[in-house]
Chain A
């Protein structure tokens, strides 16, 4: 478990670009007026990778802001779970979470999003969004938003959905001569676009686009006999 404090007035950016035993678990406390932005990228190549990512963040001082942006492409027999816990323990905090996953092959993904607003944490503004696309019939994604809101004067919203690639868009693109794998890549790049733009750095964005393309075209785990 990595433990960390974002001190009063500090701005910190945590980028987890590779998930490993060393980078998976975080317990972070934010003091007043601090801003924490976390970017999480689950784009592992190892077909048997299995990780439990935990981001446990507590706003202990007022006027703190927490942003969690994440994306993942799970393939092969990977098993990745992402657990975010954002605790608003004091008033006037803000948090926003946007996490998107594409799951292929026989991979299993899970998202548990805990959002806890303490009884006296009035004027909290918190959002949580989780969107997922399943790319094969054997792929699974479990999503579980868990909001515990004990204060009454807050703005909190959440949304979660799991779907498939839009077949009509796929056919439309094929009718224009675009191969299905290229069409899927364009559609998934579009799916991840809003997460990538939160990086605010075109060069990093471009590098990640390439990693996304690689992860999508990576040969599947040896699931056939």
Chain B
């Protein structure tokens, strides 16, 4: 699914990622943990093609293709999805128009015809139920005036609409109360299949009680310093990063 080899990346001349190696297979869930400033969010930004970052070395193969040579929108259409840590508010652009543009861009990329208005609304309804997203929110402008929990739920709703192969959840647990966390995690789990994969970026064990990872990686100072099973997250919870990094 995803192969990251010796990935180095910098922002404004400062190197943040210093040689990341990571293999992610279909059906797997990987957690990436680490202290602030370790490069967790940089990794998701670089994988999705955020123009603020520059890749200085290394390669990334996504489903047999060179990911880094693709534009951000092509990466998305190829099945890469990022649940943003800070989802962006877009006043005046309705969720419906936004999602229709996204879904049909992906369908065109796959050689499929655009969905009719009826088919599209039916799909919206079905996916909304998955994350218990209120119909009223779906009628509003993208993320405008949404609470923190509603924004994260809306991210998972978009993930459900786009059915990505690889989803990166960047601190999806931040700012969520326990009920919202459960709804979001259940949504993610329902979307999980043997054909797709998930990267969960988080500070805390808490989210991993709900989304159970197959592998846990500790990122520190731009490199993966330890990899283990789900028990590594528990160990981390007890010893803190100081005991491991």
Chain B residues whose C-beta falls within 8 Å of the C-beta of A144 in the assembled complex: none
Residues of B within 8 A of A (CB): 48-51, 71-73, 76-77, 81-82, 84, 87-93, 97-99, 101-102, 105-106, 109, 141, 158, 162
Q: Quick one: closest A residue to B106, CB to CB?
A: A177
Chain A residues whose C-beta falls within 8 Å of the C-beta of B109 in the assembled complex: 177
Does A186 have its Cβ within 8 Å of any Cβ on chain B? yes
**Given A168-B88, A172-B88, A178 and B50 touching (CB < 8 A)?**
no
Chain A residues whose C-beta falls within 8 Å of the C-beta of B84 in the assembled complex: 172, 175
- Give residues of chain A (181-197) contacting chain B, Cβ–Cβ below 8 Å: 182-183, 186-187, 189-191, 193
Chain A residues whose C-beta falls within 8 Å of the C-beta of B162 in the assembled complex: 176-177
Does A171 have its Cβ within 8 Å of any Cβ on chain B? yes
Q: By DSSP majority rule, is chain A's interface helix, strand, loop, or mixed?
A: helix
Chain A residues whose C-beta falls within 8 Å of the C-beta of B82 in the assembled complex: 175
Would you call A190 and B101 a contact (CB within 8 A)?
Answer: no
Bound Cα distance from A169 to B90, whole angstroms: 6
Bound Cα distance from A189 to B90, whole angstroms: 12
Of B88, B102, B141, the residue contacting A178 (CB under 8 A) is B102
Chain B nearest CB: distance from A166 CB in Å? 8
Bound Cα distance from A167 to B29, whole angstroms: 31
Chain B residues whose C-beta falls within 8 Å of the C-beta of A172 in the assembled complex: 84, 87-88, 90
Does A180 have its Cβ within 8 Å of any Cβ on chain B? yes
Would you call B90 and A190 a contact (CB within 8 A)?
Answer: yes
Bound Cα distance from A205 to B110, whole angstroms: 33
Question: Would you give 23 A-B contacts (Cβ < 8 Å), ordered by A?
Answer: A166-B88, A166-B90, A172-B87, A172-B90, A173-B102, A174-B49, A174-B71, A174-B72, A174-B76, A175-B48, A175-B72, A176-B105, A177-B73, A177-B102, A177-B162, A178-B98, A178-B105, A179-B73, A180-B73, A182-B105, A187-B90, A190-B93, A193-B92
Would you call A175 and B90 a contact (CB within 8 A)?
Answer: no
Chain B nearest CB: distance from A86 CB in Å? 27
Would you call B88 and A186 a contact (CB within 8 A)?
Answer: no
**Given A172-B84, A186-B98, A177 and B105 touching (CB < 8 A)?**
yes
Chain B residues whose C-beta falls within 8 Å of the C-beta of A173 in the assembled complex: 90, 98, 101-102
Chain A residues whose C-beta falls within 8 Å of the C-beta of B90 in the assembled complex: 166, 169, 172-173, 187, 190
Sort A-B residue pairs by CB-CB distance and give the 8 closest, nearest first.
A190-B92, A177-B76, A176-B102, A172-B88, A174-B72, A177-B105, A177-B77, A174-B73
Chain B nearest CB: distance from A70 CB in Å? 18
Chain A residues whose C-beta falls within 8 Å of the C-beta of B87 in the assembled complex: 172
Of A168, A182, A189, the residue contacting B92 (CB under 8 A) is A189
Would you call B91 and A190 a contact (CB within 8 A)?
Answer: yes
Chain A residues whose C-beta falls within 8 Å of the C-beta of B48 in the assembled complex: 175
Bound Cα distance from A187 to B51, whole angstroms: 19
Bound Cα distance from A186 to B48, whole angstroms: 21
Of B71, B76, B91, the residue contacting A176 (CB under 8 A) is B76
Bound Cα distance from A193 to B81, whole angstroms: 29
**Given A171-B50, A171-B72, A178 and B101 touching (CB < 8 A)?**
yes
Chain B nearest CB: distance from A110 CB in Å? 25
Bound Cα distance from A106 to B176, whole angstroms: 46
Would you call B73 and A178 a contact (CB within 8 A)?
Answer: yes
Bound Cα distance from A187 to B90, whole angstroms: 8
Chain A residues whose C-beta falls within 8 Å of the C-beta of B101 in the assembled complex: 173, 176, 178, 182-183, 186
